[in-house]
């Protein structure tokens, strides 16, 4: 059962002593799964999840979705039963979200795949390119640089996942990991196959093109890392904090992009892949960069809209991902 002193600082509930009843039904069949007879009004949805888990151990809290309406949105963990539009008996609908995976593990799986897959092509395994004499020739320097850039990018992502990122949502459905890995791992193999192919041709404009691309790649990588650190520092009150704050530029020059866009991490990420496209001058890399741009624009516009809805004083000059344009 819930503990009373967890809620002693909620003034609107101080004089409440009425014990509630909670009925939990299956969201699809409407069959009753359990009936909780003595639930304290200050109990949260998180408490209900724990009670339900004791009755049904196979449905741990992370895979539970509790709703007021079968087709409605999931109630948040911190929502208090007494403050919901319910009577003395609250009816909740349960939906099984399926096996869940923590976000840290999700990203470790997604990002480690491309790192190792790329090396399979870089070292020109015989079962990929064959053993023809042409395939044993030395690599062009750009191929080596591309491997360094690609590896650096995903190693940075892995380090950020472990030491920098703070996740507001605890888990992701396990079934989604297959889709995400197919995207990241599949594209990594496609890019690596052409970049490391023995017949690969170097950039048209030679060393100047390579130098420009390298500067762009590592500048944007530094900017992306700086933004992730700045965003992480907004949640010092806890790794899983759900408090949303307006991000502002810091003394770090890379964060000054916050003056113009809401999601500079995506801006820098896009710049990294544009630089990698220029470096390799490879069509598959360009297509991957285009898809990244489309997806990140969707994410950025959604985040930008959330900021505008939550904060009346949100800076009006900011765009979603590209300064002054988008």
pLDDT, mean over the chain: 87
Residue-wise pLDDT for 67-80, tens only, equals 999 988 888 888 89
Annotate 43-100 with DSSP letters as a single string.
Answer: -BHHHHHHHHHHH-TTS-GGGEEEESSTTSPPPPTT-BGGGSS--SEEEEEEEE--SE
Residues facing residue 20 across a β-bridge: 39
Confidence bin at 42 (pLDDT 50/70/90) = confident
Distance CA 221, CA 276 (A): 11
pLDDT at residue number 248: 94
Whether 276 shows a pLDDT value over 60: the answer reads yes
Pick the CATH number of 4-9+18-97 from 1.10.287.1060, 3.40.1130.10, 1.10.10.10, 3.10.20.90: 3.10.20.90
pLDDT of residue 5: 41
Q: Which of 283, 109, 273, 278 is nearest to 191 (CA)?
A: 283
Say if pTM beats, i.e. exceeds, 0.85. no
Per-residue pLDDT reduced to its tens digit, 307-326 = 999 999 999 999 999 999 99
121-172 tens-digit pLDDT:
998 877 788 755 455 567 889 999 999 999 999 999 999 999 998 776 567 7
SS3 192: helix
Share above pLDDT 90 across residues of the chain, in percent, rounded to a whole number: 62
Residue 101 host element (H or E): strand 100-102
Query: Residues 10-33: what's their mean pLDDT?
Result: 75
- DSSP category for residue 136: G
Q: What are the backbone dihedrals phi and psi of residue 199, each rounded to the nearest 5 degrees, phi first?
A: -95, 10
**Do the Cβ atoms of 89 and 128 come closer than 8 Å?**
no
Using alpha carbons, select from 222, 224, 216 the residue that is nearest to residue 276: 216
Domain boundaries, the chain: 4-9+18-97, 101-310
In 3D space, the residue among 146, 133, 45, 137 whose CA is nearest the CA of residue 90 turns out to be 45
Largest distance between two CA atoms of the chain: 85
């Amino acid at each position: 059962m819930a503990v009373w002193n967890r809620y002693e600082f909620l003034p609107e509930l101080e004089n409440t002593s009425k014990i509630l009843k909670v009925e939990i039904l299956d969201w699809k069949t409407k069959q009753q799964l359990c009936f909780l007879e003595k639930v304290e009004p200050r109990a949260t949805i998180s408490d209900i999840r724990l009670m339900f888990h004791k009755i049904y151990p196979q449905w741990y809290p992370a895979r539970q979705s509790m709703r007021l309406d079968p087709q409605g949105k999931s109630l948040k963990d911190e929502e208090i039963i007494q403050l919901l539009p319910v009577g003395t008996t609250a009816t909740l609908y349960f939906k099984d979200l399926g096996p869940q995976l923590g976000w840290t593990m999700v990203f470790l799986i997604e990002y480690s795949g491309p790192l190792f897959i790329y090396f399979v092509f870089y070292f020109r395994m015989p079962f990929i390119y064959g053993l023809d004499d042409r395939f044993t020739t030395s690599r062009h320097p750009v191929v080596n640089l591309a491997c360094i850039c690609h590896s650096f990018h995903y190693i940075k992502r892995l380090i950020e996942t472990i030491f920098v990122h703070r996740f507001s949502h605890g888990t992701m459905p396990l079934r989604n990991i297959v889709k995400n890995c197919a995207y990241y791992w599949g594209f990594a193999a496609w890019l690596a196959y052409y970049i490391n192919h023995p017949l690969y041709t170097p950039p048209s404009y030679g060393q100047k093109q390579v130098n420009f691309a390298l500067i762009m790649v590592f500048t944007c990588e530094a900017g992306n890392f700086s933004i992730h650190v700045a965003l992480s520092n907004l949640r010092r009150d806890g790794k899983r904090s759900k408090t949303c704050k307006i991000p502002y530029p810091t003394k770090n020059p890379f964060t000054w992009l916050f003056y113009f866009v809401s999601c500079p991490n995506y801006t820098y990420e896009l710049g990294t892949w544009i630089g990698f496209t220029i470096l390799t001058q490879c069509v598959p890399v360009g297509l991957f960069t285009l898809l990244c741009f489309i997806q990140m624009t969707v994410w950025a516009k959604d985040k930008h809209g959330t900021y505008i809805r939550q904060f009346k004083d949100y800076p009006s000059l900011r765009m979603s991902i590209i300064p002054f344009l988008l």
